[in-house]
Structure 1
Amino acid sequence: MDIDTKVEDRPVFVTGADGFVGSHLVDRLVDAGADVHVFVRATSSGELNNIVHQSKEVTVHRGDLRDSHSVREALSSLQDYSDSLIFHLAAQAHVGESWDRPYETIETNVTGTLNLLQAVVDLDLDVAKIDTAGTSEEYGNIKDEMEEKHEFQEDGRVLLSERSPVNPTSIYATSKLAADFLTMNFHDGYGLPTVTTRMFNNYGPRQNPRYITGTIITQALENDVVKLGNLQPKRDMCHVSDGVRGHLHVALEGTPGEQYVYGHGENISMREWTNLILEVGSEHGYWNNPEIVQREDRYRPGDSDVEELLVGYEKLHEETGWEPEVSWREGVHETIDWYDKNREQWYGRVDWR
């Protein structure tokens, strides 16, 4: 699919545009010549971080998803356009922080999604597709009574697809599932051309250092010891560039009212992922074999951790041709290099000091 041709000069509205995935999506859209509108949280300084280099190439709308007025004002910029695309990526997206900030998580992820969808209806916008970004965390762990409804590989691993039952085990996952359902409600009730996407665990340059990949890399760059929590869970790690391509494929060729899941298509335990990162970093001279130490205070609360996530992305591949392109070793090297060269962007944000 020629993404550039399909978005060139096209109005595109991105929430969460200054975030991790959103900033990479903005880069891709600007490079393709789209008319990019970004919605970012208003702050006293008003500065952009991850997309400051694109500030002259995009139209910036500042506001807060939780404030319906600012959402409506920003979206009103699309009233003179037709065939617009909306990517809804803004969220409180950290699982651990959802327990510390439960109200903000619900207000941002649920009420914020409602504000966006309702504004599209109230403004009667001519929109080609609205993509709400969900999360693989919505699947949670398998309940015994639901086991027969799951798909399993020959080696016994559960394969998660659009057909799989959901079982959110954190406030974050529950809020994102609610946002998914709201998005589908507005398709069923108002005919909005909505889709939902569940990208499995993403990683790459610019990610908040409190996520697993970032915390491993930043600790290894600064210390001889890397302190981590539970390393048994398995995750399907998807490089951000593959994730951005997934969003674009769904928005441009996906069917309204449908859900699409995608990721690398292979999973890895967090201990193996840690070993891979430290091995790649040692090979390229970023550090010298740091020690791994597990600490209980870095575990998720109670039984809320998800044991295993592995995606089956056949639906997206069959409908659009999408498949992952970045290998783990290639993606990890690129990510380490970014953290190494951009310490000022993450040093004050880590949770291990």
Structure 2
Amino acid sequence: MNLDSGLSNRSVFVTGADGFIGSHLVDRLVKLDADVHVFVRATSSGELNNIRYQTDKISIHRGDLRDKHSVDKALSALEGHADSLIFHLAAQAHVGESWERPYETVDTNINGTLNLLQSVVDLDLEIAKFDTAGTSEEYGNVKEEMLEKHEFEEDGRVLLSERSPVNPTSVYATSKLAADFLTMNYHDAYGLPTVTTRMFNNYGPRQNPRYITGTIITQALERDIVELGNLTPKRDMCYVSDGVRGHLHVALEGTPGEQYVYGYGENISMQEWADTILEVGTEYDYWDAPEIIQDEDRFRPGDSDVEELLVGYEKINEETGWEPEVSWREGIRRTINWYANNPDSWYGRVDWR
């Protein structure tokens, strides 16, 4: 399906719209001439960070996912629009912070999702698709007793797909898995046209610098050392524009009641990822080969770290034609360029100063 023809003048509702993925999704929807409604956290200042420049092209609804009344009020904007789409991207999405703020993580990610789904039912909205964004962290590590249920590459790497067992190892991952199941519950019980999408590790401009890619880049831009935690885990890194395209393809072409997982289709250790980022930055004269130092205080607690994540995205590719378009080195170059040229957007948010 042509994304242009599928979204022009169509009503679309986005939660988490001012966040990392959400803001890029909003940009794409505006470009495709959709009728964009965004749901953002109500604050005393009412300030928007990432989509402020889009305010004259979107409808802004302020509230809190944990407050059913504000969710009802915002979603009522979709009444009378039978083919509208809902992208649910809002969440407390940092693994480390889910241990520091477990109750807020559970309340936002689980109850917030429940409020959205129940509001669609209560308002009797005739939506075309409800996409809940999950996470690759839901897969966790492979349990010995579940080995036979997994798929493996010839080199022994675990290949994760829609058929793979889940084993969440953090409060964040568990809360997102619960949100996935709630989304499917409402499809089974009420016939809502829901889908769930598990994106593998997204990175790119505007991401909170506490995530691995941003913390490497911001430290390298500011000093001669880069302090990191465990560098042995492997991740499947997917550039943000590819992640956004995945959401759009699933919303327009995915089958209700189904799950879709996607990512770059290759994984890399965090040591190699850090090395590659520093190489690209040196190549483009952003810095001069900073030194990487490991700090045990940055490790995840106990045995909660996920050792390896690698996606098999055949399902979304076969059903919608989606595949990644941005290479790692090109995605890294674009990301470094954004951090280098937008220090006011991240300088007060780092955790290494």
TMscore range, shorter length? over 0.9
Q: Please tell me the residue identity of whatever aligns with 2:200.
A: F
Once residues 36 and 230 of structure 1 are traced to their aligned partners in structure 2, the CA distance between those partners, rounded to angstroms, is 40
- 1:88 is the counterpart of 2:88: yes
**In the alignment, which residue of structure 2 is the partner of 1:103?**
103
**In the alignment, which residue of structure 1 is the partner of 2:3?**
3
Deviations 1:207-229 (A, max 9, x none): 00000000000000001000000
- 1:148 is the counterpart of 2:148: yes
How many positions carry a matched residue from both structures?
A: 353
Deviations 1:232-253 (A, max 9, x none): 0000000000000000000000
**In the alignment, which residue of structure 2 is the partner of 1:235?**
235
Tell me by how many angstroms 1:110 deviates: 0.1
Deviations 1:100-157 (A, max 9, x none): 0000000000000000000000000010000000000000000000001000000000
Q: Please tell me the residue identity of whatever aligns with 1:294.
A: Q
**In the alignment, which residue of structure 2 is the partner of 1:347?**
347
The alignment partner of 1:56 has SS state of helix
Once residues 125 and 137 of structure 1 are traced to their aligned partners in structure 2, the CA distance between those partners, rounded to angstroms, is 31
**In the alignment, which residue of structure 2 is the partner of 1:121?**
121
Unaligned ranges ≥5, structure 2: none
Once residues 285 and 153 of structure 1 are traced to their aligned partners in structure 2, the CA distance between those partners, rounded to angstroms, is 38
Identity %: 79
The alignment partner of 2:128 has SS state of strand
What is the RMSD of the two structures over their aligned residues, measured on CA atoms? 0.4
**In the alignment, which residue of structure 2 is the partner of 1:263?**
263
The alignment partner of 2:293 has SS state of strand
**In the alignment, which residue of structure 1 is the partner of 2:274?**
274
Tell me by how many angstroms 1:346 deviates: 0.2
Tell me by how many angstroms 1:81 deviates: 1.4
**In the alignment, which residue of structure 2 is the partner of 1:12?**
12
Deviations 1:170-192 (A, max 9, x none): 00000000000000000000000
The alignment partner of 1:132 has SS state of strand
TM-score (norm 1): 1.00
Tell me by how many angstroms 1:4 deviates: 1.1
**In the alignment, which residue of structure 1 is the partner of 2:214?**
214
Matches within 5 A, 1:16-95: 16-95=16-95
Unaligned ranges ≥5, structure 1: none
Once residues 272 and 346 of structure 2 are traced to their aligned partners in structure 1, the CA distance between those partners, rounded to angstroms, is 24
Once residues 347 and 329 of structure 2 are traced to their aligned partners in structure 1, the CA distance between those partners, rounded to angstroms, is 24
Tell me by how many angstroms 1:80 deviates: 2.3
Tell me by how many angstroms 1:291 deviates: 0.3
Q: Please tell me the residue identity of whatever aligns with 1:19.
A: G
Tell me by how many angstroms 1:333 deviates: 0.1
Tell me by how many angstroms 1:82 deviates: 1.5
Once residues 38 and 161 of structure 1 are traced to their aligned partners in structure 2, the CA distance between those partners, rounded to angstroms, is 30
